[in-house]
Structure 1
Amino acid sequence: MKNIKFLLVALIVASTALWSCDSDDSRDLSLALEAPKDLGLIFNITQDNSGLVTISPSGVDVTSFEVFYADGTGESTVLPLGENAQRNYAEGTYPVRVVATNLSGKTTEFTKNLDVSFRAPENLVVTVTESATSNFGVSVNATADFETAFEVTFGEDPALAAVVFMEGEEVIYDYSSTGTYTVTVTALSGGAAITAVTEVVMIEDPVMLPLDFESSTLNYNLINFESNVAIINNPDVSVDNNSTKVVSIVKTGAQTYGGVVVPLGGPIDFSGPQSLRMKTWSPMPIGTKVTIKMENSDGSIASVDYEAFTTKLGEWETLFFDTTGLDTTQPFSRFVVFFDLGGAPTADVNYFDDIELADGPPILLPLTFEDANRIYNIGTNNGAFSIIPNPVPDMVNSSGTVMQFDRPATGPNNFSLVAIVIDQPVAFSATTSFTLKVYSPRAGLPVWLKIERVGNGGLFQEVTSVTTTVANGWEELTFNSFSGSTTADLRNVVIFFDPLAATAAPETIYIDDLIKTN
C-alpha cells in the first residue's frame, strides 16, 4: 500500500511541473510577437460620381485596423481583420492613414494617398421643345450617364444664373422677344468633370389665326396695293370691338381694286370651322361690300371672292363670310381684303380687325332668329325649343322666323326657361332697357329676363316684373329697372316663363326680336 501511495504523489508532482512549464512558454511567445507588417490599402471608387469609396486595409500579424479618413473631419473607424469601411469623398486627394494593431498591442502605421476624380458625364441627350402655352416659350429636359445634376442657360440674359434641374424634371422658360438664342445644358459630375451640349432655338411670333394685330413684336408684313394701309390705335373702342390695334385702309389713285394682302405664317388649318368672320368699321353707306379671298404664299392659287355687306354706319360690326364650296386641300396662307371692290376711290378710311375661322355669324343682339347661318348655343329647363317659321304673323310681328318654347305641365317653382349665349357682353347703365316680342296662350303669363355671366349665374342683371296682357297674340314687352350684383361680362341671356307657378296643361309660347333699346 505504501508503494502505491508514493506513486500517486509522484504523478501529481510531475503533472504540476508540466503545467507550470507550459504556462511560462506561452507568456514568452506573446511577448515575442512582431509588430504588424506588410500593410496595404485598396481603394474601390464607385463609378456613379457619388464619391463613395470602399477602403480595404490588409497586413500580416494584425488583429485590427484603425482607418483615419483624412477628409478634414478628424473621424476614424476601427475594423477587425478582413473587414472594410465606406466613405463619401468630394473630388480631391486624401492621405488616408491606417494604424494596424496585433495581440500584444504593438502597432504599425501606413499612409496612402486616395485620389478621387469624378468621371465626366456620358451620353448626354438634351430635348428642347416649344412651349404648349406660349409662342415665346421653350421647355428643356435632359438625360445622361454618370451625372449628378444639370444646369441650363437660355442665351438671352448673360447675368441670369443657370437653372439647376435633375433628370426627369422639365425647365420652362419664356423669352421676352423674338430672335435666335443658344440654349446650353451642362451635365455635372459632382466635381470638375462636366459635359455640355448647346442647341440653337429660333423664337418667332407666327402670324396665325385668329388674327388680332395686337402683337408688339410681330411683323405682320401687310402688303398694300392701290391703297394706304397701316396698323393703328383703334379709333372707336366700344363693346363691339375693344381691341387696342386695328388695320386702317383707304384706296388711293384711280383704281377700283385697292386692297391689302395679309400673310400668315403657314397654311390655314381647316380641320375645324371653314368659314370666316371679320370685324369692320366703315363710314361708307350701309350695304357697302366687303370682300375677302384666300391665296397661297405667292398668289398663284386663289379662292373665289367671298362677300359680306355692312349693316352699320360708323360703328364696329362683325361680318360673316360663308365659304361653302372652298377647296380646303389648297395651301392657302394669306388673305386679301377689299372694301367696296369695284367702286372708285372715295378717300374714305375703313378699318378691319379680328379675322377668324367660324361656323357661322356671331350671336349678337338683337336676337331675331332670321339668319339661317347662325349657330346658336341654347339651353333649356322644363321645356324644349325650336326655331321655326312664324306660325301666327300679325301687325305686331311679321317676322319670317321665331323661336318656339314648349312648356310641359309642371309643378310650382319649375323655372321653365330658355338660355341663349351671345358672343359679346351686354353693357348696362341706369337706363338700360330691352323689348321682347312674345306670343302667349294666356294673358297674365309672367316673363322674366335675366342676363348673367356664363358659368356663374350669381353675377347677373334681371327684371322679374313683366307680365303678358294678350292671349293668343303677339305683343311687345318692355324690360327696364334692372337689378343685380354686377354689370361685367354678361353674355348668357335667360328668359323664364311663369317660373314659380304650376301649370296643369302644356303650353306653347313663341318669342322673337330681343332688342336692347338703350
Structure 2
Amino acid sequence: MKKIIYITSLIVAAILFSCSTENDLVDLDALGAPTNISALTTVTQDNTGKVTFLPKGEGVTLYEIYFGDGTTAPAYVNPGETVDHVYREGIYNAKIVGTTLNGKKTEVTQQVVVSFKAPQNLVVSIENDLQVSKKVNVTATADYALFYDVYFGEAGKPDPVSANNGDAVSYTYQNPGVYTIRVVSKSAAIQTTEFTQEFTVTVVNKPFTSAPTPPNRQAADVISIYGSKYTNVAGTNYFPDWGQGSQGSSWTEFDLNGDKMLNYIKLSYQGIALADGTTIDVSGMEFIHMDVWTADLQKIETSLISKTNGEKPVVRDLTANQWTSIDIPISAFTSQGLTVADIFQLKFVGTPWAGGSVFIDNIYFYKTPSALIEMPIDFESTTLTYPWAGFGAADFGAIPASVIINPDKSGNNLSNKVVKIEKPSGAQVWAGASLNLDTKVDFTKGTKVKVNVWSPKVGAKILFKMEVSTSPKDGNGNPTVFVEVEATTTVANSWQVLTFDLTTAAAFNTVNAYDRVILFPDFGVNGTGTTYYFDDIKQSN
C-alpha cells in the first residue's frame, strides 16, 4: 500500500510537470505547508472498535495517520480516501500529518474516543446562521461519543452529514420553513443516542458586517451623498418616499453597532432628494459608488435625475447575503443623453418589484485624483490639502495642528511649508496629530522613516506611529493594527532629522496596509504650551 501511494504521488507530479510550459511551470518552492488538517473519525456500532479515518486538509498530496495505540507504522492515505483501524476500548491521541508535493508537512493531534458504552448526556445546539440565509449550524456533544450524524429533513436529501463529536456541521436548505432535524450520536457501542427537533429555517434579512470602508480621498475628488467617510451634501432627504408607502414600501436608517446605513424595505422605488434648490454638478466625476446588501433582491436599478432632462437608469446585479460594491461610470448616464451638471435626485428600483429589502451605504461620486497624499510627504503641493487632526487636549478635545509657512528656514530645512503641532498647557501625555494617506505605504521604498523635527527642547521623545485605519477598533475606537517607534531630540530650537526604524517594533509587518501617520510631540509628558514643527516625512533603507 505504501509503495502504491508513493507511486501515485510521483505520477501526479509527473503530470503537473508534463502539462506545464516554460511560462507556467509549477514553483514547488513557493508551495506553503498544508493547512486545516483534521480527520473525520467514525466507528462501527458493533462493539468491534473499528474506526474509519477520513483525513482532510488543504494543499495535501499525501496523509500519514499515526493511530496512537502503540502501532508504530503509520497508514498512508491519498486525499479523498479512508483507512480503517481496530482499537481496544480507550482514549487515544492519533496524529494526522499532511504533506505537500514539495515535502512540506503539517501535523495535528486528534483525540479518538473508543467506548463500548452508548453515548450519554447528549447536548445539541441548532442555530440559524446569522450571515447566510437558510443555512443551519449544528453542534452535538456527548460523553463516550466519537461522532454524530445529522439528518436535516429536507425532501430528497436522505443521507446524513457526519461530524466529530463536538465539532460543528452546517447545511444550507433550498427553501426556508419548518424541518425535522434528527441527530444521532454514536460510539463503538451497538446502541446509539438520538435527539429530534422541529426547527424553523429562516432567511437572513439584514447585514451583520459593515460595508467596506471607502479609501481616503481629497475633498476635491469626491462628492458624497451618504456615508460616514466623507462630508455629505448638506440638507439631503434620504426618504422622500414619493408615494411608495401606499404600496407597502417603507424605509429606515439601520444602525449596525453604531454604523448607520439606509434601509429600503419592500423596495419598489425609493430614492434620495437634495435640499430644495440644491443641485450637484457631477460632470467632473468619473463614477458613482455605492455598497449594497440584500437577502432577496436580484438587481438594483440606479437612476440619476437631472433638473434639465429627467432621469436615466443603470441596472446592476446583486449577490445575496453579502455586500456588493457597485461603481457605475458617469458615462453610463451621459451616453443615454442625461445632463449631469444639475443632479438633484437619485432613484433606486428593486428587482423583483417590491419583492425584498435593500441596505445601502457609501453613496458618493468620485474621480481619479490628480495628486495623492502619500509617502514621502513634504507639504509643498499646491493642489493637495493636508488635513492634520489633533487630539489629546486637556479636555480630551483636539490640540491645534496645521500646515503653515516654515517659521525657521535654516539649517537642513529651507522648505516653504511645514506642519505645526501645538501642545498646550495641560494637554494629555499622548497628545498628537494624525494624517490620513490616500494610499497604503509601500515598504519596497524602505522600512525606516526619517522626519525633520524642530523641537523647543533637548530630550523630547517623538513617537511616530502608523495605523491601518480599517482594522478592527479597540474599546476607545482606535485601530488595533499599528506600529510605533520612538526617537529623542538632541538639539533645541533647530531642525534635525530623526530616524524611526520600523523593524525594531515587534508589531511591524510589511504586509499590513498602513494608511495613517501620527506624530506625538514630547510623548509621555503633559503639555506645557510648547510648539513643535515637522517636515519631510520619508522612507529610507
TM over 0.5: no
- Per the normalisation by structure 2, the TM-score is 0.32
Larger radius of gyration: 1
Question: TM-score, normalized by length of structure 1?
Answer: 0.34
